[in-house]
Structures are given as structure tokens and as C-alpha cells.
Amino acid sequence: MLTNNYETPTTVWGPVRDAAGRMLFRLWAPSAEKVLLRLNGENRPMQKSDEGLFSLAVADAAYGASYGFVLPDGRFVPDPASRAQTGDVHSPSRLVDPEAYAWQQEAWPGRALEEAVFYEIHIGTFSEAGTFRAAIEKLPALAATGITAIELMPLAHFPGRRGWGYDGVLQFAPHSVYGSPDDLKALVDAAHGLGMMIFLDVVYNHFGPEGNYLPSYAPAFARNDRDTPWGAAIDYHEPWVRQYFIENVLYWLLDFRFDGLRLDAVDQIEDPSEVHILREISETVRRTITDRKVHLVLENPPNGTDMIAPRQDGRGFYDADWNDDFHHIVHVIATGENAGHYADFADRPWEKLKTTLSEGYLRPGKPIVGNASPPAASLPPTAYVHFVQNHDQIGNRALGDRLHTSIDDHSYRMWMALLLLSPQIPLLFMGDDYRESRPFHFFADYNGEIGAAVRENRPKEAVNFGGIPEGVDADELADPNMLETFQRSRLDWNSADTPDGIAWREFIRTLLHVRREKIVPLLPQARGYAGRVAATPDGVIALDWVLGDATLGLRANFTDLACDVDAGGLPIYSNNGREQDRPLVGTLSLQPGEITVFVDQ
């Protein structure tokens, strides 16, 4: 019998070969009196254990066969731990040979998180074909630019053919429109062959609104006392539920060899168990995978530091957290928009920007595990992932427009340099490497009431992310369920080969070269309370970070007036032509529009 003791090693979700070579099918369905296995169209009775686990070992089940389960009322349901679907989330599942793919990069050791430059990708719009195999063709250009970590938006099978993936219902099945599990393995393999890590975004706070059959035979998956903003909360006090998600974590990291996971909106994961599920996930991964570097990243909007604060072994339960505070402040300063999510950042934004760069979060966070959240400044800067835009902050805008289309070229260059040359872990959104101008919309593939609800929610989201532009009516916003909305969101790779695209990519390559050669070697020595802020006028930034025996200094002037600031060290980057072999000593006259970064060792 399962317990919520996280030492339990048994896998119970999904089909596996037993010692006799038979395929063992299993389904935890405690509320069902009987369940039939439907294998290649033939129904076969299953046996039920006292814990509600139905099982059947079959000798003639070949890989590639279709299967699913028939409930007492005659309904057919796919395997909730399906490794692949024959079609959509309502179709039969397909048996997959986990050993069929021949790995080319078996000795891949991983990379340190300090080396990460994240590049967030939506597989369906990253290429014209929108598949795992098509994405492989684009990776060499990213690697040559200096990208070191690909992050895929969620792949767990979701309803319809297109969507962002945050409404998945089959957690183990890569979305079939993107390709097969082996195609996904080939993408991971190709990234490793180019020296790049590859991460997966996973959603463990709710199931999507369509295609989730668990409530009909395993209602204990959902809490009846709490909802998330997107659906019923998951009941992690139930041992079988915990096991499902623990197995899912290890499945992505072991079977597909991902270098890490990014857990979406963990503030919506509540767990009254003695060992919180988020801690269990971390400790299971650390204990299980010891032959290569694997990293766990959070999205934790309440800004609690308890999950990422270093412990006795020098690591937190998780390695880093997305810092929305940095993005929101940059956006307010760069665009002047200050409504919705940006309202709290409109007051004294330059002061707040300096705080996020030097300390991390702006406000004390709410802890998830334990009763206290250490001060944000007590964490190293590498505990924070920074970005000037990502899928949320582009796709939830009224027009899906990117930042560079709203501000002048020089300012955008300065913000990008600030992002990539600060010691925090930077993240780019797909297309940022050549300055894509096509929009990225929110899109889905729902009909009926769900489709109407998704469509009606778009203006509300737009208000939170910059508002609806003057002259645009709410009913003119792109319908997320229309195919055209998805198609408009595809990258235009032809623009990467234009003179402007080539020049921008060279600019990014230059910044990332400086980061790799001059900044990354200092980051393993980063500790808490590293950031120091000098008093400067609004629009002028003078920041130092103590990184072991070295100090990384950044000076930036976003104003129209020169400003004297203190500086000391060898320049490693300057957009003002400062010579790298001539040390900065004493007072630096920082010119309008100048950004200079230096190291003092």
C-alpha cells in the first residue's frame, strides 16, 4: 500500500513490462467497481486491489498497440499516464517502447546553472511546421549566438491542436501534434550535441478543463475545498496523487534526459502533508540523479525565498525563481504603462529597479515550506531569473506586441545589455535573438462554453498587461480560438536573415560572448548580500556586485544628461567605445545613453 513517505520507490502509473515479459496495465480507480482494459479494440477484465488499483498483465501487447480503459458506465477513457496518444486527449493511448530511441549524447554531463542563458520556446510557433523535428533545424543558430539553455513551454497533452500548454490533462504524453516521444528525445539529444541544456515547463497546480477524466473514477485527485484560478486544486495529501507527479518528474528527467524543469505557479500548490510535495520533488530528484547536473526552477509569484534559499549543502530545494518584479519595473520605465499588474511599480520605479538588481525581490515573500522566508538580498543573484519579456507578458497583451515595437532602438539595446550583463540568470523569448516583430498571441482550440469563456477573458487579461490601446475596441482583439490567431504568432525566420536581423543577432552574440568569457567565471563565487547600490539620479544606475574576490560593476545612463559616477576596474563592455585595456579609476563621466560594465579583481 502506498503511503506519503517519499522513500517509496515503486512506480504505479502507466504500462510497464513485468519480469515475465508481459505488459502490465494499471489504473488507480478507487471509485469504480470494475474496469475493462480495451487493447486494440478488445475488452479484457482487470483485477482490483484493496487500494483501488486495477491491473492486468498481457502477453500479446506489442509496442504501437492502442489501448485505454472502459468504466462501469461504458465510457472509454485514455490512460492518465499515457506515454503517447493516437490522436487527441479523448482518443486511445498508444504503447511506446521506452528503449527504442538510440541516444547520441549518452555521456552528456549537463552544465552549471550559472552558465544558463535561457531561450523560451513554444514548439508550435517556433517553426513553420511546429514540430520537435523542425525545431532541431533552428538550434545551431541559437547555439552560435550564445544561447546555452532551451526552455520549452508545456508539452503535456492538452485539448485541441494548438495552445500554450498550461491546460494539459495527460501529464506523461507529449502533445501529439508536435511529434512522437522519440522526436522529442531527438530534440533533447540535438540540444546536448550543441552544448545546450534543455528544460521543460511543467504544470502541477491543476488539470485543464477538457479531457480530464480523473474525477469520474479517481475523484481524490482534486480538492473539494479549494480552487486555483484555472480549476480545482490538486490534492497532494493523497499518496497516489503524490506518486503520479513524482513519477512524472522523474519521467521527464530520466526518460527524456531534460536538464531541468520549470514548475509553473507553485503558489497554487498547497499541501498539508508533513513533507510538502515541492520538497519531495526536489529531494527525490537530488537523490535519484547523481551522474549529471540537473536544475529545478520555480515560478513563485508571492516571492517566497524559502524554496531557493541555500541550505547546509549550499543548495536550495530549488535553484532559481522567475522574478516578475524585474520585468514589471523595466516595463513601466520603458513604456510608461502603469495599469493592471504594473500599478504597484509605478511609484519610484528607478529606485525599485535598483533594488531588484541588487537584492532580488522588492517585498518580503510568503513562505511555502516552513514559517519564514529569508530576505531576498541574502540569496545570490543567480537565484533569480530575469527577463524583459516572456510568453505571459507578450501573449497577454491586447495586440500580442513585443517590447521593441513600443520603444526606441537605443533604449531597447540598453535594456537588453542590462539584462544580459547583470549577474542574474537571463531569459530571452523566442525571436529576441534577431528581434522578431510578429506578435505572439494567447491562443487555444476550444469550442462551446469553454471557448466562449476563453474568448471573453481576453480583454480582462489585456487590461492587466498594458491595457487596450486607444482606438481599439475589446471585441476587436484576436479571438484565441481562431486558427489565424495561432498562425500570426509563428516566428518569421526570414527576418532573421535580413540586414537588420543579422545585425541584431550579432549584437546579442557580442553581449553573450562578454557574459560567457568575463561574467560567468565569477558567478560560482556569488553569495548573498552581493549587490551594492550607489546614490544616483533617476535614470542613472550605478551598481556593484561582489562575486568572491572580484567585483562586477555596471553603470548605465538612460537620461539626456551626462552624470559623474564612481567606477573602478577594467571595462568588459561599453557602448561608448571605452578601451578594455584602460582601467576606470575614480570618477567616470557617464554619457547620455551609455552603458559600461567593468570588473575589478
Q: Catalytic residues, which ones?
A: 264, 299
Question: What count of residues does the chain have?
Answer: 601
| Max Cα distance, the chain (Å) | 82
Q: How far is Cα 381 from Cα 351, in angstroms, rounded to an integer?
A: 18
What are residue 69's DSSP bridge partners?
37, 77
Range list of β-strands (E), 14-65: 16-17, 23-28, 36-39, 42-45, 47-48, 53-58
Q: How far is Cα 262 from Cα 267, in angstroms, rounded to an integer?
A: 13
Q: How far is Cα 301 from Cα 341, in angstroms, rounded to an integer?
A: 12
**Residue 492, CA distances (Å) to 36, 391, 436, 439, 486 in order:** 48, 17, 7, 10, 13
Range list of β-strands (E), 62-217: 66-70, 76-77, 93-94, 118-121, 149-152, 156-157, 170-174, 197-202
Let me know: does 239 contact 53? Beta carbons within 8 Å: no
Let me know: does 346 contact 285? Beta carbons within 8 Å: no
**DSSP for residue 254:** I
Q: How far is Cα 295 from Cα 199, in angstroms, rounded to an integer?
A: 9
Let me know: does 465 contact 441? Beta carbons within 8 Å: no
Q: How far is Cα 150 from Cα 198, in angstroms, rounded to an integer?
A: 5
Query: How many secondary structure helices (H) and strands (E) does the chain include?
Result: 14, 27
Which residues, at least 6 apart from 39, have a Cβ–Cβ distance to it below 8 Å? 25, 58, 61, 65, 66, 67
